[in-house]
Amino acid sequence: MNTRPALLLEAFTDQPLQGNGAAVVWLEEPASASWMQRLAGSFKQSETAFLQREPGGPWRLRWFTPSCEVPLCGHATLAATLALAHWGCLQPGETLSLASRSGGLQVGLDGERPGAAHLQLPSAGIEPLAVPKELEALLGQRIERYWGSSLGYRVALLEAAAPLASLPCPSAQLQGQDRMGLVLMQALDGRGPELMGGACDYQLRFFAPGLGIEEDPVTGSAHALVAPWWMEQLQRNQVRGWQASERHGGMLCEAAGPGWVRLTGSAQLLWDGQINSSGAGCDPDDWRQAVRL
């Protein structure tokens, strides 16, 4: 029986059984997309990350939800970074670039915080749109501002007094582009939980039923998308974001040059073992087309 190392990390939390779970699989060869998709469906995590490296080449990274491959995932990239450290492939203070569908992603271990890592994600910005009255009616809350993005996510700003954490999950009723990713966010105005030496500045929840995710616990790509807006509002180059889901967690977000955000977070190892990789196949051409530096 062919086996490969695999583990499950709960990302963007320093507490066990919180945060966002991501399976990470180390491949010796570039497995077929159909096998990776079936395995992600079996894991039933919001994301499963697959790492593969050819001799002398960069590490390559792909992400799959239980129903589809996605172009970007923050928490599974954090999990993949800490998995490489767990497997002895990345040392404290070392950085590397992971080839992905979104280009090269710089990652590394945080030298000051054991168990923490950092990653840089692209942030193409958000574009104002008219507030959809049907979404306001569905949420039962006034939407102060509403945006679209090239990532495909829609973003809605709620009043600071809105009960964001206790809102019923709206995924089953979401329509149109909102189904592919809806960020609901609000200011915390000093009420946020403590995270990495300070209080969180804002909080959000993320829903993506169109990607097979009713509600994502802690979403790095969503924070990378909205953190620059919060930095602009607060006139700072770093902010702390919280995700008010049932399995909550958060991250430090910092400006990392035009169009990039650096996220720092911790993760907890839940299990570490081997999986049966029989039937994985080998499809180098698919990987060459899917990832780039």
Backbone angles phi, psi at 193, to 5 degrees: -65, 160
pLDDT digits over 33-47, tens only? 999 999 999 999 999
pLDDT digits over 78-127, tens only? 999 999 999 999 998 889 999 999 999 999 998 777 789 999 999 888 99
DSSP string covering 92-132: TT-EEEEEETTEEEEEEE-SSSTTEEEEEEE---EEE-PPP
Backbone angles phi, psi at 175, to 5 degrees: -125, 160
Q: How confident is the model at residue 1 (pLDDT cuts 50, 70, 90)?
A: low
User: Is the pLDDT confidence value at 137 over 90?
Assistant: yes
Nearest to 24 by CA among 53, 47, 50: 50
What is the CATH topology of the domain spanning 126-253? Answer: Diaminopimelate Epimerase; Chain A, domain 1 (3.10.310)
CB 119 within 8 A of CB 107: yes
Q: Which pLDDT does position 87 carry in this prediction?
A: 97
pLDDT digits over 202-230, tens only? 999 999 999 888 999 999 999 999 999 99
CB 49 within 8 A of CB 76: yes
Query: What whole-number percentage of the chain has pLDDT above 90?
Result: 89
CB 225 within 8 A of CB 153: yes
Tell me the average pLDDT across 128-139: 97
> Annotated catalytic, 127?
no
Q: Which pLDDT does position 67 carry in this prediction?
A: 92
Domain limits, the chain: 3-123+268-290, 126-253
Active-site residue, selected from the candidate residues 47, 94, 127, 254: 47
Decide which of 3.40.50.1100, 3.50.50.60, 3.10.310.10, 3.40.718.10 is the CATH code for 3-123+268-290.
3.10.310.10
What is the model's pTM?
0.93
Q: Which pLDDT does position 115 carry in this prediction?
A: 82
Backbone angles phi, psi at 155, to 5 degrees: -130, 130
Tell me the average pLDDT across 7-21: 95
224 HSE (CA, 13 A, CB side): 29
Average pLDDT of the chain is: 95
Tell me the average pLDDT across 161-165: 96
**Beta bridge partner(s), residue 95:** 108
Structure tokens at 108: 């590394």
Tell me the average pLDDT across 127-148: 97
* Domain 3-123+268-290 identical in fold to domain 126-253: yes
Q: How confident is the model at residue 282 (pLDDT cuts 50, 70, 90)?
A: very high
User: Is the pLDDT confidence value at 177 over 90?
Assistant: yes
Cβ burial of 194 (10 Å; 0-12, 13-18, 19+) is exposed
Q: Which residues contact 112 (CB under 8 A, 6 or more apart)?
A: none
